[in-house]
A and B are shown apart, each in its own frame.
Chain A
Amino acid sequence: MKQAGKKAMIIGGGPAGMEAALRIGQAGFESVLIEKEAALGGTILKLCSSFPRWESPLELVEEKIKQLKHCSYVKVMTETTVIESRTRHDGYSILLKLNNGDTTELDINAVVLATGFEMMDVSIYGEYGYGIYPDVMNSLEFETLLKAWGDGMGKTPQGVAFFKCVGSRDRSKGYPYCSKICCMYTAKQAGLVKDMFPNAKVYVFYMDYRASGKGYEEFVREVIEKKHVRYVRGRPAKVLPDGGRLLVRAEDTLIGIPIEVTVDVVVLASAAVPRQETAPLAAMFGTKTGEYGFLEQKRFSLARASNRVFFAGGCGFPVEAPFAQQQGASAAVEVIELFSQ
């Protein structure tokens, strides 16, 4: 029996959004999960394998979709976006654009924003030649290349170089914050390349590697010691074209000499920034965003941005998939607490 005035809408079908919708539904409240893409899953659909246990992220998505189908209180609407919303006394009436083009208006009592993060545009780093040399790409684009290599397509690389902290921890051209997850997914990507092409030379240029999670340090050490990825401490200075390949110039700060390396592919672990849709949505629901566009929660609350608006996952700060789920669940708890008053 659907209770009147107790309907939640979750915007964004990534791990955070799916978990929030599921938990709210399982608690017996109506929840509408809308996703702008055709399929649920968000960014992790693009990834292959995961850290720290090298599992395929698709299994997580399938499991969640199965649970969502199983729960009758949850209504999933893919290829749907929010046009505008009017505030009402007990929530919002939100105008949606559906996949077949027409629109519908729903009365919603609580909104959970789970729009996730995306990669910063690193073409500002002229020295790395992103957007100029085809073989320089950011980590998300590299995931698609990894998939292509996995299916046997694409040219076998002799050398791959990963650059960390491109855009993050950089106050002059990027953002001062550390994007938290690049150290781990770069180690994962480097390990995958070494698995696929054992005699390729794989380098990771780092300043620090931050592996502060359960099984994280062992994961990175395994990539360094067992898979023999060479970690070089020194942020790269320049990428130059050199006879069809790419020459990387950097310093090995641990021995203090300038070094070079010629590779075929350069992967930039760009900073994670909130998706562009986060800012208009936040404005639409009157919630405040922080200095870099991430959503801010009220003090002492888990995920509450304002009294009927909550958020979870990458739109708050870049976060790994499992923790995005946990944040989705805590947003759901606060919604359930709101509905059960």
Chain B
Amino acid sequence: MQKRGLKSLPREKDKDLKENLYKNVDVYRLVDNLERCMQCGKCVGFCPVASLSPSYNSRQIIGDVLNGQQERWLKSEEIWRCFWCAGCYTLCPVDIHFPLLIMQIRYRAIENKYGLKYVAPFKRFAIAAWQDGLTFVPASTKGRDRIRKIRTNIGLPPWPEVSQKAREEYKAIFDLTGARAFVEAIDENDVKHLDLAYKEGRVTFANRKSG
């Protein structure tokens, strides 16, 4: 057992430290102010996910995206853990909307066929949504009947009215924007193993029983 499972990281060369490097992640220009980040750590202090799995560190993800070390995160397990609660955005002294950034990192990961197992469960919802114009429609008829029963006893129409016109238009939007191809390209059984990007360098207090 010579190697302890730690593959050696390339010396973090600053080979690609060009300006506004984060632009190739922030393709939709939703986090234009990323370069204001002062690395102050307020977001990680609040983050409910970081307090459970320390290798998830939003500050370091921003730091790496700014310094051009994005590849490390594409193959990582951590970018799929964000709860999207945007508490980091609420607290950030420079108003960086981090969830919008991690959403776009996830797109880059999906393009490179990483993390598909974390998108697969929603493929069903997306496909169902084209038909129903609604999300979260239970797949089983038992589930749908239960909803119809509850809705009728409280005096609501058995099923939320979504007009046929609405469904067609909603479905058409998916086709026209190429989103349908994107959804169908998600291959559920491509369960590539994802590695924790930052587990080394983490103080693992995991097995320490604290109060």
Contacts and interface: CB of A to CB of B under 8 A. Distances in A.
Interface residues of A, number: 25
Contacts of A170: 93-94
B42 to A, nearest CB: 4
Interface in A226-278: 233-238, 249-253, 255-259
B44 A251 contact: yes
Nearest to B204: A257
Contacts of A233: 41
A255 B198 CA distance: 12
B38 A250 contact: no
B38 A237 contact: no
A214 interface: no
Contacts of A165: 40, 93
Given A238-B46, A256-B60, A171 B41 contact: no
Given A234-B41, A235-B40, A258-B54, 15 more contacts: A170-B94, A172-B92, A173-B93, A207-B38, A207-B40, A236-B42, A249-B51, A250-B41, A251-B45, A256-B54, A256-B60, A256-B198, A256-B202, A257-B203, A258-B51
Nearest to A207: B40
Contact of A257 (B39, B54, B92, B93): B54
B45 A235 contact: yes
A162 to B, nearest CB: 15
B59 interface: yes
A236 B41 CA distance: 8
B43 interface: yes
B45 A250 contact: yes
B201 interface: yes
List 7 tightest A-B contacts by C-beta distance, closest first. A237-B45, A237-B46, A234-B41, A251-B44, A251-B41, A170-B93, A250-B45
A159 to B, nearest CB: 15
A214 to B, nearest CB: 28
Size band of the interface chain B makes with A:
20 to 34
A67 B160 CA distance: 84
Interface in A197-225: 207
B110 interface: no
B95 interface: yes
Contacts of B198: 256
Given A258-B51, A258-B54, A237 B202 contact: no
B50 interface: yes
Contact of A256 (B46, B57, B91, B94): B57
Contact of B93 (A235, A238, A253, A258): A235
Tell which of B42, B44, B51, B92 has the most Cβ of chain A within 10 Å.
B42
A141 interface: no
Interface in B152-211: 198, 201-203, 205
Contact of B95 (A171, A236, A256): A171
